[in-house]
Structure 1
Amino acid sequence: MGGGPRRFEEQYHCYSVAYAGKDHLEAGDKILLPPSALDTLSRMMVEYPMLFRLESESGMSTHSGVLEFSAPEGSVYLPHWVMQNLLVPEGGILTVKNVSLPKAKLIKLKPQHVDWLEISNPRAVLEHALRSFSCVTKGDTICIPYNGRNYHLELKDVQPQDAACIIETDCNVDFEAPVGYVEPDYKKMAEEKQKETYGSMPKQSRFGGASPNVSACSPAQSREGSVNGTVPPLDLGAAEVQKGTRIVNGQVVKGDDSEKVTDEALLAESVGATGVQPNGAVVKAAPTNTYWAVAGGGSRLDGKAPSPLKDSAGNVQDARELRLAAAAARAAKNKSDCVQQASEVKRKSKIGNKFSKRKVGGATAFQGGGNTM
């Protein structure tokens, strides 16, 4: 059997990927190892993808994948946020070991700021960002760059174990409440919204009008005349009840203040042909109806007999006889007009564009042999 080493473990001086001019690697967890690491790993029976455990001298550890073997010998380049998790400075000593990790089944994240809630679709953003990651470790705080900002999320739980691979795997992702997030009081918000909607509306009385003693806009007025904050019932015998539009004695009367007659002092005066008169533009009271509609036969719609028709002398006239006499007079006049118009018609002949009468004495209006038979 082969006698090569079964485990890769080396120590390197660590630097951030900015030293290699590859700032875009900050959006993932990939590291850069020297070419000697590739030579050693190629002679080992390692599993792919290659995953490594990173340990600092302070005892902190995390896991990552490898992107290239292009770092200088004795050095390793890694994202700056990974160095922050390991509490290792630039040029510090870092131990790198190859490991084998299971596929992740569940990841639970906790955003470190409430700004994460401002993202319209955080799950889509996280899914796109995790494509640059190889594995996750419980307790780490990963960095997700999005829309010109860096969002930090703490890994609260990773299953089936504290470190797992997320390459070509289907796992569930849950979010906890961000740091500093306060659950809103929905009940209080609903009450305040209800006050804003209905607080400025006056309370309605049982008779359809606004209550004269209770007003939501004037707390002092609503407390006046009340005992322990309660409004006493209305005394219908002592105060006049406001009524709406109604019919009184067969007439339509409007409610509220429409029944009040305009004060004489408020009426303007205007000088007319008959002297000083009240201004007709201001109505004192609505006029009453003193006429009735009648049917086609002359009967009133209310069933009563119509008033008799009298002439200037006071004699009662029959409306039907008057109509017949007027119709006969009109027919006679039309007949005489037709006879007069018929007698005035004369025969004329047209020659060219002129009308002329026939000549007397055998003369004709036409010249030529055609006039002789």
Structure 2
Amino acid sequence: MSGAVVPDLLVADVELTENLYPFTKSKALSASVKISNATSVRVTQGFLEEWLKILSVGLDLWNCGTVTLSSAPYIYRHLSRSFSTFIGIGLVGCWVPEVPTNLLRNRFTASLFIKHSQVGVMRRGMLNAVGKVRYIVLEDSVVDKVEGPLAAEGSFTLSQRDLHRWNGLFLNNVTIHSLGSSSFNLTHKASKRENTHKVDVKDCLVGQVGHGGITVQGDVAVTIKNNIFENLEDGALKISVSRDLKFQGNLVQAAEEASLQDIQCQNLTEMDTNMIYITLDKNTTELFNELSFSPFSASCGLSQIFKVVNMDVPLTTIVFSHSTWVLLAILLLLILIAGGILYRWRENNKLQNQSQSNFHSYNGVSSSAQYQANQQEVNMVQGSVLNPVYDRTTL
């Protein structure tokens, strides 16, 4: 692979222009540009126009301070079906005010990697006329706003090939203050069973999530785990996949009633230990009478979830799970046993008092309560009557 590599730079500012490298005169099929340790980098449209004349291109900006990106212009290339074009951009340790519209465009495949960075706005239509997405990865970063959908077509398809340790969408330890409608709307059709592409959303803090903010369909394994969602709109999460689905350990601080109804469960689904605050028009009493109520679809059954109703009144938590019903049954049994013991104790005291009274009346002498109880036991046994104090079968 031939191309251009800009080595680590110790300069204040870098501007990438069409004069950086004579791409049009090169016979290279791929070009990779990397800049490290600059105070700022400005990527001009002229650079992108020249750069995109190569079939497969990559741009890596590492620890480059403020990074200003431009929209890529349309580049017409008449290619036979045997050629595959690619564009990939990696941003590590940067401040990126804007990821513009048409940044990744007119390529057979594309990839985006952002790590240890702060991003202002990821614009709607960042992907345009991209056939397949190999991966979109956001790790250890903060994004102020994602304008959905990221794909100009409304959704994007994952690549068929397993080329990287990332194959799909990965959000790990990311803060996204606002996730717009249909932001991450993707699908995938596997060519074989072992071809597993993933959507992983783990340890993230996500603020407002619009309708279909995360939408996944097809042969994809989905894990949404240990996240905090501050507010989910109706239909915020739409999941219908044939592979593993794990929705575990998430906290939803506010959610409309139908925000999770479009998560479809199947045999490979695991859903537990989630806490969800549901905002409802119904009053608390009405909801408690509906024991079958669940924020998930009927396909998920009564998953183990916690639902807090009406944030304007003191919080009331109800738990729906198989383990909860077992605990309630055990508690009820303990209460019945305690009540039985108390009842037997009171009956025994009455028996002792009656025995003491009769003994004094008919014998004319006093005796200890222990002797009276024993004497009563003897009298009842002689009369073929079981002593209820010692009849444990009644408990």
TM-score, normalising length: structure 2: 0.25
Larger helix fraction of residues: 1
- Of structures 1 and 2, the larger Rg is shown by 1
* Larger strand proportion of the pair: 2
Q: Quick one: higher RCO (CA 8 Å, sep 6+), 1 or 2? A: 1
Normalising by structure 1, we get a TM-score of: 0.26
